[in-house]
Amino acid sequence: MLKSVLVSMIAFVLLVHAYTRTTNVIPGEADYPTLSASPVNFVTVTFQIPTSVHVHFTLLYAGAYGRESHPKPSACHYAVRTGSETEYTIALHEYWKADPLNLMLQRRLPDEPGNSRDIKMYSASIPVDRYEAGRCHWQFDRLVYVLEDDPSKEIPVFHYTNDVYGGTHNLFRFLCAKRDATRETRQQEICGGPRVEYNNWRYHWLDDRNAFLNDPQAYVGSEAVVGGETVAIEFHDIDNAVPFPPPILY
């Protein structure tokens, strides 16, 4: 058993090193995704976003979807080499394509104590089969977001799974705040989530604010959804919350 595993690992390493393609698929190539005429599989999403949070969403579609977690080189993968000439690593990536997600404004929500001010509700429908499967089995892979303060940093919201029992949650909460400017850096908007222990980060627990600013990605879960689901995504600004009324003393 051990021998067969070692042989497989060695064969995999040799295949990776022999793989010469180093770029993602580009328009005009045979495997570049083609829009489907009639998508039938959707994930419906509602969003609650305060006007003080400046966030944009992107859909990522991947080829070679559904292969084993360590796919062998194929016409639907490319290799990325990092490191020096003598010490380096090679990683395989599926072909991928990024599309912006357009949100439809539904309404403004009333301000409520404990919630952010001026929250607007949006909706969107994500087509899992937006592209023809083709040879590379193109399919929706994951939803990510970026903040205007750091558009190069993509943060995952959830990923898609074909497992009908693979969905984890239907509600994803993200907390956001402003990190104060220093002599070296300007004020920066940060968000963390989806939170798996949301109740520990209530707005009136001000002692937790510094912990959040130091590590906004703490207590973050890895979430999955399946086709046909309706999920809710909430962003909350802990710097711009409606205060709770003072307690009534008798």
* CA distance linking residue 140 with residue 159, whole number of Å: 8
pLDDT of 79 above 50: yes
pLDDT of 43 above 80: yes
For the stretch 138-169, pLDDT in tens is: 999 999 999 998 888 898 999 888 776 655 67
Which stretch, 56-65, 172-181, 201-210, has highest mean pLDDT? 56-65
Q: What percent of the chain has pLDDT over 70?
A: 78
* CA distance linking residue 73 with residue 94, whole number of Å: 9
Q: Which residues contact 7 (CB under 8 A, 6 or more apart)?
A: none
pLDDT of 185 above 80: no
Q: How many CB atoms are located within 10 Å of the residue 53 CB?
A: 23
Output the pTM of the full model: 0.82
pLDDT at 5: 40
Domain extent listing, the chain: 35-65+96-237
Average pLDDT, the chain: 80
Give 226's pLDDT tier (boundaries 50, 70, 90).
confident
Q: Tokens 């995704």 correspond to what residue?
A: 33
* CA distance linking residue 144 with residue 147, whole number of Å: 11
Q: Which has more confidence, 8 or 122?
A: 122
pLDDT at 130: 96
pLDDT at 200: 53
For the stretch 3-33, pLDDT in tens is: 554 444 444 444 444 566 788 999 999 999 9
